[in-house]
Structures are given as structure tokens and as C-alpha cells.
Amino acid sequence: MSQVLVLEDEEIIRKQIVLLLERNNYTVTGVGTIDEALKLALDKFDIILADIRLPGASGTEIIKHSGQVPVVVMTSFASVRSAVESMKMGAVNYISKPFDHDELLLVIARSLHENRMSAQNAAMKKDLARNFPLQALMERSDALKSTMQCLREIPDHSAFVFVYGERGVGKELAARLVHDTGARADGPLVFVDLPSYAPADYHDVLFGVSQAEEMYERQGMLYSANAGSLVIRSVELLPAEVQQHLVSLTTYHSAGEHSLPLNVRLIALSAMSADSLKSNGDLEADFVALFEPHTYSLAPLRKRREDIEPLARHYLEYFVKRYRRRRINFSSQALNAMNAYQWPGNITELRSVVERAVLMVETDEIMPVHLGIAVVDGVATQTSLDLSLDAYFRYFVLTFQEQLSETELASKLGISRKALWERRQKMGLPKP
């Protein structure tokens, strides 16, 4: 529920606005002056609605203190001039008095939506910059080089791209590469994570809430991605009617492909291929046909083992800086363990494993125990990443003490035989 601060000195008008917004599921705080507003924690609000003409100071003064909170100004005099000046000062929108209820609700809803999209795009760009070295590593991967090059060369007129692969293989990075290397690179990059929404809301999320006002119709993610790219995670969750709506919006392009009426590239992500999803009945044939010219798969990490060590070192450097740790290196045993492990969670799992190791290691060298990976006879297994070091020690010893000597156990745990004996005594794990 969005929180709104209403800054209006006329008590009757303020109460009317507060009551209107509360009836429409907003949490509202009303004040009459700038001084009253500044006594509040402004960053707890999602939007501020401020009258320009207030006693003591103009309502536009709140803009200087609002930080990332968007401000909508209300004006009843010289509306065009005062609105322009307010927008120059940083207001995101304005509304002229007198206004009707629907108009006010529309302005607030649109301003909240645009601010969320702006924040999301800023976060995406920051994330893209942070992941650039990882993206560069993926582009140099022998197993991915051909796919990544194809992604970079998708024609600008191609509006539909399908990328699939197992969980954690880097589908989002591939989508960002597609966006970043095309003519839409300077436009918004909007991600829609379908599993985070209720299925009944998918249509509204993409196309907006259906209202008589055309401006309100343009609140969906599809319109927010205009001149950029819209990335849909788990595209197979889209109901048939939503798929058909997207199909109905497309027009046949002279180059033999379909395009949307807006300048938007739709990038669909899934764990399964489009053909498999069509065979399963999850995707409509007409919808799948939109992506046929540009469908790409990303290989799992176990099929491109040459990438494991460079990716691990990339994340090691990143987390050492993030947590301000001293210089840490992987031991040869740790590298062997990572190379032998199957990585069912792919790059996402590798990132989590390295982060955990950086947080847990107390020396300058990461051992298999810090990764939570054990290697016995060339076969790597992993325990839950929630295990503490003591819990992992207990698990490893009880699991492999029948197969390994004490010297071998100590070596694989990265400790001395004496330290192994001492921890056995402390934890009540005598030799069998």
C-alpha cells in the first residue's frame, strides 16, 4: 500500500484529499505547512502531493528535501507558468485546481508508476555495469562464443527474441547483452518477473489497468518499455489469452518478421525451449512463431567447465571487495572440487558458493570445506549451503570416515591430522 504525504494548508481541501486517497487504498498523512512536513521522515513516503501556495514557504520547497520521493504539485494560479517552474525544480508532475477525483487519482497512479520504472531502470543499469566483467567472460567462453555473437548481431527490426537454458545459466545477462548492443540501448530495460505476480494480474502488469482514460491504459510494462526492451522471465506462465493479445498487437514486417506497434523488443526467458513449451501446451503456436527467427539456448556450466575457474575468480574478486576482506585465494583442492562438481544451479549457484566461502574463511586460502563441496574418488558432492562449518565437519566425517583414512580426511578438509583429532574429541566423534 503506497504512502502519500499531502501538503495543503486549507483544512477542508486537505481532509477531502486524504479521505479520497484512503478510500482508494493509500495510506495518507496530511499536514498544512513545510515546517510540519520537515518534521516527518520524508523517505518513508512513496509520493508527496504539495500545494504551491502555502503559508511561510512555497510548496516547491519540499522538493529540495524529498530525495528520491517524487513530488506532484497542485496549483490554482498561473497554472502553465507555475507548473513549468515546478517541473524545472524537480517535480515529477502537476495538477491544476479545481480537479476532479478521477483526475487526481490518475496523476498519482501515473507518477508512482513512472517513479518505480525509473528506479528499476537505474537499478538495472547499475547491475549491468557491475556485471560487465562477467558478461565479458561469458562472451569469451568457447561454448557460448557463437551464441553470444549471434545475440549481438540481432537486427534492430527484430522485435522478438527467445533465450532458454537451465536455472542460473545467465539468461538475464544474455537479455541485457541483446538490449545493450542494439539501437534501443539508450531506452529503458524493463524486467517482468512473472512468478512474483498473481496469474490474474498478468494482463494488467503488461498492458495496464483498463480504464476509459487512454493515459491510464498506458500504465502497463509494455508501454513503459517503449523505445527499449521488455524482458519476461518464465514466459511460459502467460495465460493463452494474454499470449493471443500480444499476437493480435503485432504487424507483419517487410523483412519477414513481426513487430509491435510500439518500438519495443520483447525478450522471453524460459528454462525450456519454445518448441518444448508449445508441445506441452504452455505456449500457443502463434505466440511461439513470433520468436522462431531468433531463439537461442545457453549451455549449462557443467558442459563448459573451462568457464568455472574464470567465473569463480571473478566472483571471488567481487566479494572480497564487497566485504572488505583481505586478499584471499582458492587452494588447488578448492579449484579441483569446483571443477569436479556438477553445478545444478549453474552461475547462480557458483556465485552463492563463492560468497559463502569468502564470509566463512578465516585464513587467506579457500578450501573445499568453505565451499561446502566434498570430493571423494573424483566425485564431488555438496551439502546444504545453510550448514555451519561445524555442521559440515560433522557431515563430512560421518559420511566418509569409512572410506578414507584420517590423513585423507584431514587433507580433504584442509586441516592437519592433529586438528582433525582435536575436533573429533570436541564434537564427540570418535574414530569408528
Is 106 a domain residue?
no
Check residue 47 and give its pLDDT: 93
In a domain, 241, yes or no: yes
**Same domain for 290 and 351:** no
Whether 276 and 371 map to the same domain: the answer is no
In a domain? residue 107: no
What pLDDT, on a 0 to 100 scale, did the predictor assign at position 59? 84
Whole-angstrom Cα distance, residue 207 to residue 192? 12
- With the CA atoms of 119, 120, 125 and 129 taken in that order, what torsion angle do they form, in degrees rounded to the nearest 10? 100
Assess whether 293 and 312 both reside in one domain: no
Same domain, yes or no: 238 and 200? yes
Q: How many domains does the chain fold into? A: 3
Tell me which of 99, 123, 149 is where a domain ends. 99
Which of the listed residues 280, 299, 318 is the one where a domain comes to its end?
Answer: 299
User: Same domain, yes or no, for 324 and 238?
Assistant: no
Q: Do residues 205 and 255 both lie within one domain? A: yes
The residue count of the chain comes to: 432
Give the residue numbers spanning the domain of 36. 3-99
Whole-number pLDDT of residue 133: 62
Q: 307 and 145 in contact (C-beta within 8 Å)?
A: no
- Residue 53 domain-assigned (yes or no): yes
Same domain, 88 and 158: no
Q: What is the residue-wise DSSP string for 238-252? A: S-HHHHHHHHHH-EE
Is 110 within the bounds of a domain?
no
- Say whether both 230 and 250 belong to one domain: yes
**Residue 174 and residue 25 in one domain:** no
pLDDT, one tens digit for every residue, the chain (432 residues): 789 999 999 899 999 999 999 999 899 999 999 999 999 999 889 999 999 888 888 888 899 888 889 999 888 754 566 767 777 788 888 888 878 888 889 888 888 877 776 666 655 555 555 555 666 677 677 778 888 889 989 999 899 999 999 999 989 989 988 998 888 988 888 899 898 888 888 988 898 765 444 433 446 888 888 889 999 999 999 999 999 999 999 987 766 788 888 899 999 999 999 999 999 999 999 999 999 989 999 999 999 999 999 999 989 998 898 888 888 999 998 998 899 888 988 998 898 889 888 888 878 899 888 888 866 555 566 554 444 566 667 777 877 787 778 887 777 666 778 878 888 888 888 887
Strands (E), 26-70: 27-31, 47-51
| CATH classification at residue 72 | 3.40.50.2300
Report the distance separating Cα 321 and Cα 309, nearest Å.
18
Q: Where is the domain boundary, 268, 299, 330?
A: 299
292, 168: one domain? yes
Q: Note whether 148 and 261 are same-domain residues.
A: yes
C-alpha–C-alpha distance, residues 156 and 257, integer Å: 12
CATH number where 148 lies: 3.40.50.300
Question: What integer pLDDT is reported at residue 214 of this predicted model?
Answer: 40
Judge if 139 and 234 occupy the same domain.
yes
Maximum Cα interatomic distance, the chain, rounded to a whole number of Å: 89
